[in-house]
Amino acid sequence: MLKQIPNMMTIGNLICGCLAIVSVFHGQVNYVAIFVTGALILDFLDGFVARMVNAQSEMGKQLDSLADMVTFGVLPGMIMFHLMLKSNYFAIYESRLIFKIFKYYMFVVTAFSCLRLAKFNIDTRQTSSFIGVPTPAITMVIVSLQLMIFHNQLGLQAYLSHPWVLIGIASLCSALLVAELPLISLKFKNFRFTDNKAQYILLISAAVMLPILKFAAVPGIIILYILLSLIYPPSKA
């Protein structure tokens, strides 16, 4: 029974993703954030629990990818699609053929998330670090974008909801998912600062930025994560 707990947690991640998608359709932005937070916690813990109860298996690995495809693949594409449809500017340009096409372009995030997850499963270089930005990080950015637009944080609603800005964000997020960019893992080798400089700097910065900037802190934290990975590149060992 204990060995089934990690798989149950992975299914919980999947269900949170489904509920978040339903919340997108109903315009319940805050619920989307709550369900994604729950999914992130379960996604982080399922592997940890699997190692703790010695329940690591090929089935668990495949189940994890399938759940992630919904929560961190389908969901962010749905959010971007919904943001495009709800944009005040989109209503102005909707009669133009290019924008009728581009509203479906938002699912490029879903397509590249699928590529990212498939690549992760077969790439032996990603056992202790990442190549390309992980799908949960990109989903966090897109959820924070939705929250910033909905709550008009920092008065950025008009800028962030512009169709061309949304197209640019979708394109950038997609590129980051499959970029040949070595990124650090947030797992600590030990508790010594010298061995985990990037991780400590990122966690401390996030703890400072989140209370001050709230939703707007998330894109900044991901940018800092990429920069720290360039400054302190992950070991190839």
- The per-residue pLDDT for range 71-118, each reduced to its tens digit, is 999 999 999 999 998 887 666 666 666 777 888 999 999 999 999 999
207, 159 in Cβ contact below 8 A? no
Q: Is the pLDDT of residue 200 over 60?
A: yes
For 36-56, what is the HEC assignment?
HHHHHHHHHHHHHHHHHCCCC
What confidence category does residue 37 fall into, taking pLDDT thresholds of 50, 70 and 90? very high
- Kind plus residue range of the DSSP H or E element containing 5: helix 5-25
Determine the Cα angle at 18 with ends 15 and 20, to 5°. Answer: 110
> Which position has the higher pLDDT, 184 or 108?
108
